[in-house]
Structures are given as C-alpha cells and as structure tokens.
C-alpha cells in the first residue's frame, strides 16, 4: 500500500492490470479493460481534521475532501477555488441544507437539489468540468474531450449544463426514450450550447449504459476518434471525478449535526440513500472508509429491487422484468458502481471481480460468498418500496410534518420506515439521527408528487407545478418554469443497437452541427 500524504494518490482498476494517477483516472473515465478506478488506499480524515472542518463552509469542506485524493496533482488552492465557483451557482446559501423533519425520531433530510438542474448530480457535475480541465493540463493531453454519458434522467441534464460551451469539450447524452420523466426529458431537449448532443434510445437505461461502456472499451472506435483528435471521457459515476465530490456531503451532514448539538464527535449515524446505479451510496461507504463514523448505509430501491434482493440473498440477478416507475432515475437493473464495492469486500480480488462482471454480462447473474455477505450485512441494510409504498410515505410525511419530497426521496422514506421496523424487531431501536438523502426537487416530478400528496391527477407538467405550489406553498425553481417557453432543440431518436449509437457519436465527434432550435413563429 502507498503511503498517503505528500505523495500523489494512485488508482487501480477493479479488474486489474492498470495503475494511474487521479488526473489520469478523471480524463480516462473507465479503465481500458472495462474496470472502474478505485483509490490504491483510502486517505484518512482524523478527528482533529474533522473538528477543523466544522468551521468550514460547504465549498471548503468539499475542497478538503477532494484534496485527500487530488491535492498533490491538481493543487489544494485550485480545488478550493473551483468548489467556490461551482457551488456559487446554487440557489441556496447553503448548497446542502440539512433539514430536521422529525426531532422525536431523529429524522433529517439532506437536500441535494439546490443546484442548476435541481438534482443531486449537480453536486459533482458543477465541479467535474474544472477537475477535467486541470487533469488534462497536468497530464499534457491536448485532444478534444468528448463526454459520453448514459442517463436515467438527471445525470444527462447535469452533464449538459456543467460542460455547456466549455472549451475543448463536447457532451453526448443518451437517454431511454420512454424511461425518463416529462420534465427530465424537457430539461435535456431544450439544452443550449454549441457543444452538446442529446438522443433518445429505443430501450431502457441499461441498454444505454451497456452501449456507452462498449464504446469506451472498443480499441477500434477509440483509435478512430484519436485520428480526429478526440478522446472519450465520462460524466457518469463510473468516473472517479464524478464520484469523489459526492463523498463530501456525507461529511458535511455529519458536521452539521455536530454544530446543531445533535451528536458528538465519534457518534455513528445512519444514512438512507435512494439509489439505482449505486454511486450515491458508494460515496457514503467511501466516506466511512476515510474515517467518518457511519453505522449503517440503508440502500433504498424501487420496484425494480435488484439491489434489495442482492443484499438479502447475496445473488445479483438481472433475469427479471424491468419496471418503469414514478422514480425513473432508479429504473436500473445493472448497478455499475456495485463493482467497486464487490472489489473491496472480495479482498481486492481483481480476477474474481472481472469474472463476476463477465458472469453478469453472459449469464445475467453472479453470487458472492457467505463471508462477503456477512461483511455487507454489517455495513448495509437493503430494502425496496413499491409504488404504493412510495406514495404512502410521501403522503404521511407531508400530512404530519408539511414536508414535500420528490418520488425518489419518497422511496427512501418508505425504506427508512422499514429500517425503523427492523430496528424495533431486533431490539436496537433508538433515536439516533438518521439522514435521508433527498436527490431531486419535487417540481422535477410535479404530476407524481401532486398525485401522492392530494390524489389529483394532471397530464400537463406545468399545470402540475401550479397546483403543487398551491398545495405546498413551496416556490418552484425558475429554471424549471422557464423550460415551458423554450423550443425543443433535440428530437433525435436512435434504435437500440450499438451500430446506430456509435454512428451518432462519430458524426458528433466529426463536428456535425447540432440541430438549430425550430422557429417559434
């Protein structure tokens, strides 16, 4: 293991055979063999450092955490500067407010949706362009960077907005044609910028993600792009530069509880995380490995529940029906970031991790050992919420506490209630703080939220916003209201096959002009 300190941090592939610096990992996105980059060793945050962070602003906290991985390459001052710039675009003075919902049971909600696109992806994707730019500088890369992204709804818009008109970059986003909410689709399809491209795929998110990963892994395709002076990188959480900024808000929530007098240094708390691709909750596990006192990470799945079943049985099985739900950003069967966790619990066995990923691709399942399952049982609690469970949780919290949430947070609250029941059955119920991560503004899903809170069903998203405002008195974000008057810019649809998707990326890389907005006359 490398000593952490003044030396550059190195990263290794979960499938072995590659070792790179942090800057190289950010530029490359994915390992050449398809593996994901993980830190060679987890840097530690000491108790003294944690106490120092208490007095810091959120941008300073984020820069400090990022610095543990990247300061020696990118510079501590640079990280502080870019975090200040990135989070200055947020609508809230505190980019990540921690809201006490129920003091009696210790329920808190960490609001991660105050960024430009009203979703938690902004926490990382407002920072990533700066990290990528500096990483290209320190590694001497002069090629144009093409950010290739698959999205289940929120990552796409956040990537498009984050990299819009950033010199030396282009952004191509694929989203499932029928697998995103109306507001999510509108956000992407009205996107401005001269370096962006958006296309719907006639499939689901897993289809989009599989094609994108294949393009990354194709030596032939990457060689063709290299001839054009173009290099692929990713804005998905498979890129460590996307994952790293998310670690910071776990530390920040903990520190806010300390300053509020709710816990003392060293007290362990729980986090409930709605997740589909496993990136958001993995960031919490990384925070724990860095020394943050985390008791359990509660993994909240929706009706697709592949992760909930995995934590229950120790078998990851995608041979199942795919469901489209009211929490579309979690409508995922292949959770890419789980590979990073598997690598760790296997004792960093790259060969075994690679074999499991091969089994998943070919046999559609893999299993873990009893020893590995025991480790996961100690660290995680997995649960899922049906559509009815989600609606009921959203209604109950709003009815009792007046707190409105989006559908993904609704899934998390439903699983939070399951976790409290589990604690009671196992005689470990207490009122220690439990922080639920809220991943999107309710107005991104106005029709579903309105239905959950009032039973009223409307077809138009903007009517939904109006009625939700009348019900909750919660101010709608201007960025969402403005979409109504912007023309659709992207109407491209591609078939669910690698050939057509690759052809579109190639045309975009070659400089094909993106569609002009249609006339509004």
Active site positions, annotated: 121
- Residues 125, 16 contacting (CB under 8 angstroms): no
Using CB atoms within 10 Å of the CB of residue 363, give its burial: 0 to 12 exposed, 13 to 18 middle, 19+ buried. exposed
Closest CA to 91 of 443, 361, 379: 443
Closest among 461, 444, 457 to 410, alpha carbons compared: 444
Cβ neighbours of residue 458 under 8 Å, at least 6 residues apart? 447, 450, 464, 467
Distance CA 251, CA 87 (A): 16
Cβ atoms of residues 70 and 76 within 8 Å? no
CA distances from 197 to 185, 288, 513 (A): 13, 37, 9
The answer for 402, left when phi > 0, alpha when psi is -120 to 50, beta otherwise, is: left
Task: Confirm if 95 and 58 have CB atoms less than 8 A apart.
Answer: yes
Q: Are 144 and 229 in contact (CB under 8 A)?
A: yes
Q: Give the whole-angstrom CA distance, residue 143 versus residue 306.
A: 39
- Please tell me the distance from the alpha carbon of residue 122 to that of residue 154, in angstroms, as a whole number: 9
| 453, 471 contact by CB (below 8 A) | yes
User: Beta strand pairing status for 19-21 and 37-39?
Assistant: unpaired
- The SS3 of residue 280 is helix
**Which candidate, 146, 348, 335, places its Cα nearest to that of 233?**
146
**DSSP per residue, 167-186:** TTEEEEEEEETTSS-HHHHH
Side-by-side strand order, sheet with 37-39 = 19-21, 10-13, 37-39
Are 11 and 36 contacting, i.e. CB atoms less than 8 angstroms apart? no
Which helix (H) or strand (E) segment is 362 a member of? helix 350-363
In this structure, the number of other CB atoms found within 10 A of the CB of residue 314 comes to: 17
Cα dihedral: 299, 249, 410, 331 (round 10): -60
Rounded Cα distance, 392 and 407, in Å: 11
């Amino acid at each position: 293991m490398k000593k952490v300190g003044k030396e550059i941090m190195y990263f290794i592939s979960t499938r072995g055979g590659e070792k790179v610096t942090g800057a190289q990992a950010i530029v490359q996105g994915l390992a050449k063999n398809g593996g994901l980059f993980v830190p060679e060793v987890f840097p530690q945050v000491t108790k003294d450092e944690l106490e120092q962070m208490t007095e810091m602003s959120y941008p300073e906290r984020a820069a400090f955490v990022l610095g543990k991985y990247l300061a020696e390459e990118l510079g501590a001052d640079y990280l502080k500067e870019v975090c200040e710039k990135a989070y200055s675009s947020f609508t809230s003075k505190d980019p990540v407010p921690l809201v006490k919902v129920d003091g009696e049971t210790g329920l808190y909600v960490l609001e991660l949706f105050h960024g430009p696109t009203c979703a938690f992806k902004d926490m990382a994707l407002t920072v990533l362009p700066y990290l990528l730019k500096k990483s290209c500088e320190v590694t001497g890369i002069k090629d144009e960077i093409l950010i290739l992204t698959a999205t289940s709804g929120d990552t796409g818009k956040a990537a498009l907005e984050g990299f819009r008109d950033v010199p030396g970059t282009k952004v191509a986003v694929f989203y499932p044609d029928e697998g995103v909410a109306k507001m999510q689709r509108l956000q992407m399809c009205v996107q401005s910028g001269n370096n962006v491209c958006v296309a719907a795929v006639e499939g689901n998110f897993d289809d989009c993600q599989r094609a994108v990963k294949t393009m990354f892994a194709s030596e032939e395709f990457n060689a063709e792009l290299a001839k054009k002076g173009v290099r692929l990188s990713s804005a998905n959480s498979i890129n460590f530069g996307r994952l790293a900024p998310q670690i910071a808000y776990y530390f920040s929530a903990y520190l806010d509880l300390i300053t509020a007098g709710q816990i003392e240094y060293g007290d362990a708390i729980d986090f409930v995380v709605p997740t589909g691709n496993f990136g958001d909750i993995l960031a919490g596990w990384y925070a724990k490995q860095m020394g943050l006192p985390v008791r359990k990470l509660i993994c909240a799945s929706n009706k697709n529940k592949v992760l909930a079943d995995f934590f229950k049985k120790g078998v990851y099985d995608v041979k199942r029906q795919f469901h489209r739900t009211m929490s579309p950003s979690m409508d995922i069967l292949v959770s890419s970031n789980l590979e990073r966790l598997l690598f760790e619990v296997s004792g960093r066995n790259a060969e075994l991790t690679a074999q499991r990923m091969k089994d998943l691709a070919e046999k559609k399942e893999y299993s873990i050992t009893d020893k590995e399952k025991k480790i996961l049982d100690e660290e995680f609690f997995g649960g899922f919420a049906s559509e009815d469970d989600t609606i009921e949780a959203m209604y109950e919290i709003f009815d009792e506490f007046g707190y409105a949430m989006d559908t993904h947070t609704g899934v998390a609250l439903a699983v939070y209630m399951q976790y409290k029941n589990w604690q009671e059955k196992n005689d470990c119920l207490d009122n220690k703080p439990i922080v639920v991560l809220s991943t999107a503004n309710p107005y991104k899903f106005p029709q579903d939220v309105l239905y959950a809170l009032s039973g009223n069903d409307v077809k138009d998203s903007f009517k939904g916003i109006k009625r939700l405002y009348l019900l909750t008195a919660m101010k709608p974000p201007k960025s969402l209201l403005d979409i109504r008057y912007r023309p659709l810019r992207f109407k491209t649809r591609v078939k669910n096959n690698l050939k057509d998707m690759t052809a579109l990326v190639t045309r975009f890389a070659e400089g094909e002009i993106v569609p002009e907005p249609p006339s509004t006359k």
